[in-house]
């Protein structure tokens, strides 16, 4: 018997603070090995549908579902009958009668996923849409917990485009008391205004700080984390032919560590050495980017457990 009605993860804005914190903590449990051996997806089937490329997220949810005792069915962009005229709504209705969880990456508007989630038989997980990458932020929180033992009070510098990873980070970090999120984004490539407003609303409630500027001038020091993402987000292109010149000042080089000598470096990967980040940073002792990548699987396991299993308990 299915142990609970389906829960969905379409946007971090759909989660309460308690749910967000629980998912990050549970990801850290899986990462530390303290939750090893649980099989809450025994007898359940997870569909893995990726219309866009993925290495880490697709592998994380596929491996995570199987490590939790579940089975998987995978779909690529050319596999569904939507290519022959079936509506997305009908496809979702069929999925919900055969799958227990659907993990989907569309890199489009999340309205399609919300339509699929209008039932309580199958959980729907947003593995990245055009605006937001919610499971990436949960990975980031898990990584911060594992490295620092806390999230409260951490100071994070984000450099680069206000893309779907930055949106998710802005919807997550300010929900922890005393945190600082300093965003330095190229002119014309900042966070959407409604996302920034929402992040500042969370910050006002928790005593966090969210700032965004479009220059590297006057950058403070003392950050715990320096974070960037690649300049070409999956499935997107930039209309401005000179965009690389606009982005160049936001490159992450070792000079940033002069004012933040204890900072660790994070990157959602894949990385392009020599563009958004210098090789000696990504491959250097300050980098925890590949531990962060591994935590995608542990965070995915936390999400899958939360979606379908009985309420998780800390060991």
If you average pLDDT over every residue of the chain, what do you get?
94
**How many angstroms separate the CA atoms of 304 and 31, rounded?**
15
Mean pLDDT, range 136-151, rounded to an integer: 98
Considering the domain architecture, whether residues 141 and 121 belong to the same structural domain is answered as no
SS3 134: helix
Mean pLDDT, range 30-59, rounded to an integer: 94
**How many angstroms separate the CA atoms of 6 and 113, rounded?**
14
Q: List pLDDT tens digits, range 81-126.
A: 988 999 989 999 999 999 999 999 986 778 999 999 999 899 999 9
Considering the domain architecture, whether residues 226 and 94 belong to the same structural domain is answered as no
Within-domain flag for 232: yes
Contact in structure between 47 and 99 (CB atoms under 8 Å): yes
Tell me how crowded residue 270 is: count the other CB atoms within 10 A of its CB: 13
Within-domain flag for 314: no
Confidence tier at 60 by pLDDT (50, 70, 90): very high
Considering the domain architecture, whether residues 30 and 171 belong to the same structural domain is answered as no
Mean pLDDT, range 139-144, rounded to an integer: 98
Within-domain flag for 179: yes
Considering the domain architecture, whether residues 144 and 283 belong to the same structural domain is answered as yes
**How many angstroms separate the CA atoms of 256 and 313, rounded?**
40
Residue 161 has pLDDT above 60, yes or no: yes
Percentage above 90 pLDDT, the chain? 86
pLDDT at position 1 is: 39
**How many angstroms separate the CA atoms of 197 and 203, rounded?**
10
Considering the domain architecture, whether residues 174 and 240 belong to the same structural domain is answered as yes
Considering the domain architecture, whether residues 76 and 155 belong to the same structural domain is answered as no
Q: Which residues of 57-95 are buried (b: 16+ CB within 10 A; e: fewer)?
A: bbebbbebbebbebebeebeeeebeeeeeeeeeebbbeb
Q: List pLDDT tens digits, range 235-258.
A: 567 889 899 999 999 999 999 999
Q: Which residues of 173-211 are buried (b: 16+ CB within 10 A; e: fewer)?
A: bbbbeebbbbbbbbeebbbeeebbebbbebbeebebebe
300 closest CA partner among 131, 164, 103: 103
Considering the domain architecture, whether residues 157 and 128 belong to the same structural domain is answered as no
Considering the domain architecture, whether residues 209 and 304 belong to the same structural domain is answered as no
pLDDT at position 3 is: 52
Considering the domain architecture, whether residues 129 and 265 belong to the same structural domain is answered as no
24 closest CA partner among 153, 140, 147, 125: 140
Mean pLDDT, range 204-224, rounded to an integer: 98
CATH code: domain of residue 156: 3.40.50.1370
Confidence tier at 269 by pLDDT (50, 70, 90): very high
Mean pLDDT, range 257-281, rounded to an integer: 97
pLDDT at position 106 is: 86
Task: Give the residue numbers spanning the domain of 241.
Answer: 136-293
Considering the domain architecture, whether residues 194 and 81 belong to the same structural domain is answered as no
Within-domain flag for 281: yes
Within-domain flag for 153: yes
Considering the domain architecture, whether residues 160 and 248 belong to the same structural domain is answered as yes
pLDDT at position 234 is: 61
Within-domain flag for 2: no
Which is more confidently placed, 264 or 37?
264
SS3 310: coil
Give me the number of domains the chain comprises. 2
Within-domain flag for 151: yes
Within-domain flag for 1: no
Alpha-carbon torsion (140, 118, 77, 167), positive or negative: negative
Considering the domain architecture, whether residues 183 and 48 belong to the same structural domain is answered as no
**In what side-by-side order are the strands of the sheet with 45-50?**
71-75, 45-50, 101-105, 123-126
Which is more confidently placed, 36 or 34?
34
pLDDT at position 246 is: 96
> What length does the chain have?
315
């Amino acid at each position: 018997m299915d142990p609970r009605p389906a829960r969905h993860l379409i946007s971090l804005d759909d989660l309460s603070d308690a749910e967000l914190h629980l998912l990050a903590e549970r990801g850290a449990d899986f990462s530390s090995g303290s939750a090893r051996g649980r099989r809450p997806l025994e007898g359940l089937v997870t569909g893995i549908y990726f219309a866009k490329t993925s290495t880490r997220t697709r592998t994380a949810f596929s491996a995570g579902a199987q490590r939790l005792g579940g089975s998987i069915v995978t779909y690529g962009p050319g596999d569904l009958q939507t290519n022959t005229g079936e509506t997305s709504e009908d496809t979702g209705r069929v999925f919900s009668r055969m799958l227990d969880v659907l993990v989907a990456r569309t890199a489009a508007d999340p309205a399609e996923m919300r339509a699929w989630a209008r039932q309580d038989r199958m959980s729907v997980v947003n593995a990245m849409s055009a605006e937001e990458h919610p499971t990436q932020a949960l990975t980031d929180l898990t990584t911060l917990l594992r490295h620092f033992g806390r999230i409260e009070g951490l100071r994070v510098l984000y450099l680069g485009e206000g893309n779907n990873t930055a949106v998710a980070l802005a919807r997550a970090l300010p929900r922890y008391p005393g945190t600082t999120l300093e965003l330095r984004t190229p002119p014309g490539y900042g966070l959407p205004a409604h996302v920034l407003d929402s992040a500042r609303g969370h910050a006002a409630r928790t005593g966090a700080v969210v700032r965004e500027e479009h220059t590297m001038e006057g950058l403070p020091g003392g950050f715990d984390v320096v974070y960037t993402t690649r300049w070409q987000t999956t499935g997107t292109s930039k209309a401005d032919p000179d965009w690389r010149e606009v982005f160049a000042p936001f490159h992450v080089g070792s000079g940033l560590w002069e004012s933040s000598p204890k900072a660790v470096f994070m990157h959602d990967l894949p990385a392009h050495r020599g563009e958004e980040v210098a090789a000696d940073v990504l491959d250097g002792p300050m980098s925890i980017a590949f531990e962060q990548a591994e935590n995608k699987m542990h965070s995915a396991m936390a999400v899958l457990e939360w979606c379908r299993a009985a309420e998780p308990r800390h060991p």
